[in-house]
């Protein structure tokens, strides 16, 4: 052995012994599992949510509490059976410390019992079925940062009656849990305030042609249409609505998945004037959101969407909890409690949040109108419905 090599080996051995003797052996990385739909009809929603999570952890150098953070992604394909299989893989084979996901409400309900039984923290960024955090299904291991299907749509029904001249409305929605629940919540709020629902029309998820549904609307006597669609269904629905000339006669209102920022470039002028409700818009004029938008746009070359914000806030909760525990996440119950406590210490782009007793977020909901600002379409905020809670909307269905 050459003298130089021998000296290097000796120094390496001495350093290793010093590290061991001082108790400073490097700790393994903390694993965060992302269970999202990266393919399928709502893939864009999953991809945008993933971008938000990744943006947050990149921003903090993929470290918290003195430990490296590793993200492990799995595609649930927006299918409940696939989601459960992938959740098992993340927990049992990959040994993740915390889960973030899913987007699809059916997947969320499918993995709920498994997550509860395993006792692993799950932060739900997008799946918003009211059932997930209702008393019968709520779990201390499950947190949700998006408003429920009731939380946004129920107060929007009241808002439409009080703040617009519309008194007779047609409701249109995707024919699955998220669409049905959203429609029911809006109807309850609108009728409770004194409005009339002229007709309810439901179209299957991933409807290729909305022409037959537009024909059903064209002969009705109504003041406006309220709609819930998401992903590629939103694009096909909004474009068909304009092509059939309904927008000139019946103003289009809905939940913000209808005109999410990520869809606006594809929707184009067909989206102009549509009024929706949701928890976030990139146009929110606060110091926290201006900084968030500026930094995200400089990195991604696009405005953050509602899904990016939801993923970002999910990451904020995890990162802040790990930091509070100084990286010691072996005790899952302690990590769970730290996530709960982090809600009131982080600064989400949307504004302050907190969890209710069932760990469902209490959050402001914004009323937005699609406008053209410069060379881009945006969801401009026109009003705010403060501190919406799931329990407020339970008055109509949880009897």
| Domain residue ranges in the chain | 30-147+285-359, 150-278+364-397
Residue 266 half-sphere exposure toward CB, CA atoms < 13 A: 16
Q: How confident is the model at residue 19 (pLDDT cuts 50, 70, 90)?
A: very low
CB atoms within 10 A of CB 245: 11
φ, ψ of residue 222 in degrees (nearest 5): -150, 170
pLDDT tens per residue, range 302-346: 999 999 999 999 999 999 999 999 999 999 999 999 999 999 999
> What is residue 397's predicted lDDT score, i.e. its pLDDT?
65
pTM, to two decimals? 0.89
Three-state secondary structure string covering 327-354: CCCCCHHHHHHHHHHHCCCCCCCCCCCE
Q: Is the peptide bond before 292 cis (omega within 30 degrees of 0)?
A: no
> What is residue 17's predicted lDDT score, i.e. its pLDDT?
47
Q: What superfamily would CATH give domain 150-278+364-397?
A: Response regulator (3.40.50.2300)
> What is residue 227's predicted lDDT score, i.e. its pLDDT?
98
pLDDT tens per residue, range 134-158: 999 999 999 999 999 899 999 999 9
30-147+285-359 and 150-278+364-397 agree in CATH topology: yes
How many secondary structure helices (H) and strands (E) does the chain include? 14, 14
348 alpha carbon, distance to own chain's centre: 13
Mean pLDDT of the 247-266 span? 93
Q: How confident is the model at residue 178 (pLDDT cuts 50, 70, 90)?
A: confident
Quickly name the fold that domain 30-147+285-359 has: Rossmann fold (3.40.50)
Q: How confident is the model at residue 22 (pLDDT cuts 50, 70, 90)?
A: very low
Distance CA 153, CA 140 (A): 25
Distance CA 169, CA 131 (A): 26
| Residue 370 reports pLDDT greater than 80 | yes
Distance CA 184, CA 155 (A): 12
Q: 352 Cβ partners below 8 Å, 6+ apart?
A: 344
> What is residue 331's predicted lDDT score, i.e. its pLDDT?
97
Q: 272 Cβ partners below 8 Å, 6+ apart?
A: 370, 371, 372, 377
> What is residue 14's predicted lDDT score, i.e. its pLDDT?
44
Distance CA 130, CA 377 (A): 31
Tokens describing residue 217: 């609307």
> What is residue 89's predicted lDDT score, i.e. its pLDDT?
98
User: Can you tell me which residue has the tokens 């390496």?
Assistant: 12
CA angle centred on 76, ends 234 and 240, rounded to 5°: 10
pLDDT tens per residue, range 26-36: 889 999 999 99
Q: What is the mean pLDDT of the chain?
A: 92
Give the percent of the chain with pLDDT over 90. 82
Mean pLDDT of the 348-376 span? 96
């Amino acid at each position: 052995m050459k003298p130089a090599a021998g000296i290097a080996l000796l120094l390496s051995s001495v350093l290793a012994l010093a590290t061991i003797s001082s108790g400073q052996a490097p700790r393994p990385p903390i694993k965060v599992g992302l269970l999202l739909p990266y393919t399928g009809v709502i893939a864009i929603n999953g991809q945008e949510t993933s971008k938000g999570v990744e943006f947050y952890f990149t921003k903090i150098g993929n470290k918290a509490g003195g430990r490296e953070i590793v993200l492990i992604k799995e595609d649930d394909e927006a299918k409940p059976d696939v989601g459960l299989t992938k959740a098992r893989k993340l927990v049992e084979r990959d040994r993740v410390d915390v889960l973030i996901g899913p987007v699809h409400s059916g997947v969320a309900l499918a993995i709920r019992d498994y997550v509860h039984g395993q006792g692993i923290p799950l932060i739900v960024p997008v799946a918003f079925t009211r059932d997930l955090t209702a008393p019968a299904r709520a779990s201390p291991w499950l947190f949700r940062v998006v408003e429920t299907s009731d939380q946004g749509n129920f107060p929007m029904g009241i808002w439409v009656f009080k703040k617009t001249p519309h008194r007779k409305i047609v409701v249109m929605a995707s024919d699955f849990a998220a669409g049905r629940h959203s429609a029911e919540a809006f109807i309850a709020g609108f009728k409770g305030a004194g409005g009339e629902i002229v007709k309810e029309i439901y179209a299957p998820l991933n409807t290729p042609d909305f022409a037959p549904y537009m024909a059903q609307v064209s002969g009705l006597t109504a003041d406006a249409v309220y709609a819930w669609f998401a992903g590629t269904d939103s694009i096909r629905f909004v474009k068909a609505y304009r092509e059939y000339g309904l927008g000139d006669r019946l103003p289009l209102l809905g939940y913000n998945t209808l005109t999410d920022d990520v869809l606006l470039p594809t929707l184009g002028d067909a989206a102009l004037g549509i009024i929706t409700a949701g928890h976030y818009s990139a146009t929110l004029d606060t110091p926290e959101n201006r900084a968030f938008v500026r930094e995200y746009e400089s990195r991604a070359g696009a405005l953050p969407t509602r899904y990016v914000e939801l993923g970002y806030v999910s990451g904020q909760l995890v990162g802040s909890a790990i930091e509070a525990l100084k990286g010691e996440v072996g005790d899952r119950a302690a990590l769970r409690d730290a996530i709960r406590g982090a809600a009131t210490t982080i600064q989400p782009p949307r504004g302050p949040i907190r969890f209710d007793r069932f760990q469902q977020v209490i959050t402001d909901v914004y009323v937005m109108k699609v406008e053209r600002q410069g060379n881009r379409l945006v969801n401009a905020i026109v009003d705010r419905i403060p501190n919406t809670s799931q329990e407020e909307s339970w008055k109509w269905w949880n009897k």
